[in-house]
A and B are shown apart, each in its own frame.
Chain A
Amino acid sequence: MKTILAVDDDKWVPEILRDALTMKGYQVLTAESGEEALRVLRENQVDLVLLDLNMPGKNGFALLREMQASRPIPALFVSGCSRSFSPASEGFTDIWEHEFAAGMTDILYKPFSISLLYEKVEALIGDSGVGENEPAL
């Protein structure tokens, strides 16, 4: 079973992501801050990180940088603001030329359909690895 870490300071977002992805057979861990996310990442084998861009303290770009320092990990930014992903945003060009250029990072704009979420996640790490006839939990 593949494990996904959903990081967002809005409590309901990781919950929705967890409900949706659990139905597909993924194991979903949640964190509400960058520090908590790094701790969860240290303690668990995580296959994919779903990241909010704007969080108090560390923003998503800085957090991804820190996460990638220990090992490369696929990431999906879940953001409501498309303007944040432009060269005008602080720290964006650097992350675009490194983490995005490696091909393991993607973007999902809010609001999104659950089918698009599944499509993006599967394109990054494949399906959950749980057989269709097996229970998801």
Chain B
Amino acid sequence: MNRLFDLHVNCAVRRVLVRHWIDLGKISIRTVSGVSYLSGALCRLPKVTPALSGHQVAEILAEIERVPAVRRVQPNFTNWWESVGGWEPITPKGSIPVLKKALPEKPVTMDLTELERERESETERE
């Protein structure tokens, strides 16, 4: 019985993706016991503009979560990654963008005491 529900969920998930003009050939949908696994690239069909934004990716996932009988959505996209602030596109090279290194809490300063001592000793010698 669960399998039949899962097939209905797959069908409903496809309907959501079609509403958003998602290229079904680049994504795979699999539902097991109400958990929907989405894997592959989430992108629109060729010549459909505008391209997806991170906000729209979140919207699509929220729509899928609202499908009756969906307990959870498990996305595993090759072209999006979930950051703290939302969904971000993965760079064309296929790597996740490197996060900017956090700045040190204290500004970097130079210790001038040694330099000053050297100058003082030089002036004394003169």
Q: Which residues of B contact A (CB under 8 A)?
A: 3-4, 6-7, 10-15, 18-19, 21, 23-26, 28-31, 45-48
Contact (A86, B45) CB under 8 Å given A103-B18, A123-B29, A123-B30: yes
Q: Which residues of A contact B (CB under 8 A)?
A: 77, 79, 82-83, 85-88, 96, 100-109, 116, 119-120, 122-127
Would you call B23 and A82 a contact (CB within 8 A)? yes
Would you call B15 and A107 a contact (CB within 8 A)? no
Would you call A100 and B7 a contact (CB within 8 A)? no
- Chain A nearest CB from B30 CB (Å) reads 6
Most chain-B CB neighbours within 10 Å: which of A87, A88, A123?
A123
Bound-state CA distance A107–B46 (Å) is 14
Contact (A82, B25) CB under 8 Å given A126-B3, A126-B7: yes
Choice from B12, B19, B28 contacting A120 with Cβ under 8 Å = B28
Would you call A88 and B30 a contact (CB within 8 A)? no
Closest to A112 in B: B25
- Interface on chain B toward A: helix, strand, loop, or mixed SS? helix
Closest to B14 in A: A103
Would you call A102 and B46 a contact (CB within 8 A)? no
Bound-state CA distance A86–B25 (Å) is 12
Q: Which residues of A contact B28 (CB under 8 A)?
A: 116, 119-120, 123
Bound-state CA distance A123–B7 (Å) is 6
Q: Which residues of A contact B4 (CB under 8 A)?
A: 126
- Chain B nearest CB from A116 CB (Å) reads 6
Would you call B45 and A87 a contact (CB within 8 A)? yes
Would you call B46 and A100 a contact (CB within 8 A)? no
Can you report 15 A-B residue pairs in the complex whose CB atoms are below 8 A from each other?
A: A77-B25, A82-B46, A83-B47, A85-B23, A86-B45, A96-B18, A103-B10, A103-B12, A103-B15, A103-B18, A105-B14, A119-B30, A122-B30, A125-B7, A126-B4
Contact (A87, B12) CB under 8 Å given A101-B18, A108-B25: no
